[in-house]
Structure formats: C-alpha cells, structure tokens
C-alpha cells in the first residue's frame, strides 16, 4: 500500500474519494486497503458464506467493484459513497456468479438462507452460527490489525499496551473516562490527533487526577482515545458503559 500522510487519514470519506478521483493513487490504495473488511462483508452477504480475501475469487470481484465505485461515485446521486459502493459490489458479484454458472441464477441482493434446502432445522442453525462466527472472527482480526497500525503512529505497540494497562478496574475506568473527554473536547481532540501525545497540563484542569497519574497512564489513555475515535465495532463493544 502506498504511503499516506496522517493528515489525509483524517479527511472525511467522501472527500477522500474525490481526491482519489483526481488521480491521487496513494489515497486510492489507502481506501482499497482500509475498506477490505467492508468489501468482504458485502460479498459474503451475496454468497451466503465466509469470504477469504486471500483465496476467494468473489472477493477480487468485490475489490474491483469497490475500485470502480471510487472512480464513478458522485455526491449528486443523493446517496453516501458506502451505500453506492454496496450496490455496485453486490451487483458485480451477482453478475460474476451468474457468469460462472453459465446461465440464469436466482440471486437477490436481499435473499437469505434457503431454509427449504435443509430439512433439519438444527443443521441450518449450525451452518448459520458457523458462518456468523467466521465472519465475526475475521472482522475482529482486521480491527486489531488496524488498531495496531494506529498505535504505531503514537509510537505504541500492542505488546507494550498489555504491560502498561492499569491493573485495577477503577483505574481503567478513569482512564477510559479521560479518553472520552479528549474525544468530546474539540480543541483537545485536535491536539492529540496532531501532536500524538496527551495535553497533560490542560487535562489536569479538567479531571480530578494528578499530573503524575496522567503521565503514568498516558499510553493507555492514548490507546483508548484511538479506539473511541475510530470506527471499531468490536473493540468499542468492550468499552460500553466504561468511563461514562
């Protein structure tokens, strides 16, 4: 994947698409890499099975369709880019399935498992559970990989994070609460994004925590800030109700 500045990563998605349309290949490649989990999800919804990006041809079709979406999207359509991309990906995958079947195939964008093909309801339940688990495992892995990459911008690692995480629950809750303050305070949010460090002095005025404690938990707070500021479905789920 081509290099891309941290500043560009903070640009809204639709604006990034526009930049890619103007010929910026680094932004285009970033989008193709960043949204692979999204592409896999769209493809799997058509194929009704887990999609392996490294092995399944259908994923390659979806990736190509997503790239086509980047090139052809227009805000004038009245839909968001991801909504538009979803339709393009699913239609291209359906066309591909029909082509390899060498004939008309009944595939709907909204179709579900054909329960009539499985006489045993228990068998159907097992298949659905296995499919959902495989999908969840893959998406969770992608989130962790992306989180690890984001940590590197702050000169942090997952291994280091496990060592510096507060041992006591109260301390962890407090740290997450401080991260939430950074998220909702626009000035402090921008500071952390740009400087990649905590505004210790400013924070000490807003929280009932000493500068020494802030410094001790600095790395963990920054990590929680990253989780809360990104679109992480699974990682955020661990923080529900924490530090509120």
Helices (H), the chain: 6-9, 13-21, 25-34, 36-47, 57-72, 81-100, 121-153, 158-164, 169-184, 186-195, 200-206, 211-216, 218-229, 233-237
Q: What is the pLDDT of residue 107?
A: 44
Helix axes 36-47, 57-72, angle to 10 degrees: 120
The Cα 78–Cα 66 span in angstroms is: 18
Q: Copy the structure tokens of residue 136.
A: 């969840």
pLDDT at 241: 57
CB burial of residue 61 (10 Å; 0-12, 13-18, 19+): buried
Q: Which CATH class is domain 1-110?
A: mainly alpha
Which are the contacts of 17, defined by CB distance < 8 A and separation ≥ 6?
Answer: 31, 70, 73, 81
Residue 102 has a pLDDT of: 59
What the block records as the tokens of 9 is: 């990563």
Determine the pLDDT at residue 48: 86
Delimit the domains of the chain by residue range.
1-110, 158-237
Residues 226 and 193 sit within 8 Å (Cβ to Cβ): no
Q: Is 203 exposed, middle or buried (0-12, 13-18, 19+ CB in 10 A)?
A: buried
Write out residues in the chain with pLDDT < 50, as ranges: 1-3, 104-119
Instruction: Please give the pLDDT value at position 100.
Output: 77
> CB burial class (10 A; 0-12, 13-18, 19+) of residue 152?
exposed
pTM: 0.53
pLDDT digits (tens, 9 = 90+) for 41-96: 999 988 888 888 888 999 999 999 999 999 999 887 677 888 889 888 988 898 88
């Amino acid at each position: 994947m081509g290099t891309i500045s941290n500043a560009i990563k903070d640009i809204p998605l639709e604006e990034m698409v526009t930049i890619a349309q103007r010929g910026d290949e680094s932004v285009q490649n970033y989008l193709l890499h960043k949204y692979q989990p999204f592409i896999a999800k769209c493809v799997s919804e058509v194929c009704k099975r887990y999609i392996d990006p490294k092995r399944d041809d259908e994923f390659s079709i979806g990736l190509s369709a997503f790239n086509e979406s980047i090139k052809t999207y227009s805000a004038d359509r009245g839909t968001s880019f991801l909504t538009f991309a979803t339709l393009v990906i699913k239609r291209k995958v359906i066309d591909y399935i029909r082509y390899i079947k060498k004939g008309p195939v009944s595939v709907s964008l909204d179709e579900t498992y054909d329960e009539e093909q499985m006489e045993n309801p228990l068998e159907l339940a097992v298949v659905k559970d296995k499919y959902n688990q495989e999908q969840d495992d893959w998406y969770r892995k992608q989130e962790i990989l992306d989180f690890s990459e984001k940590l590197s911008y702050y000169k942090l690692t997952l291994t280091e994070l496990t060592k510096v995480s507060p041992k006591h629950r109260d301390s962890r809750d407090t740290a997450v609460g401080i991260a939430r303050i950074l998220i909702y305070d626009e000035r402090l949010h921008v500071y952390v994004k740009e400087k990649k460090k905590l505004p210790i002095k400013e924070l000490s005025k807003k929280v009932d925590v000493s500068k020494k404690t802030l410094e001790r938990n600095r790395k963990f707070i920054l990590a929680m800030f990253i989780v809360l500021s990104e679109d992480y479905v699974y990682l955020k789920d661990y923080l529900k109700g924490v530090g509120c």
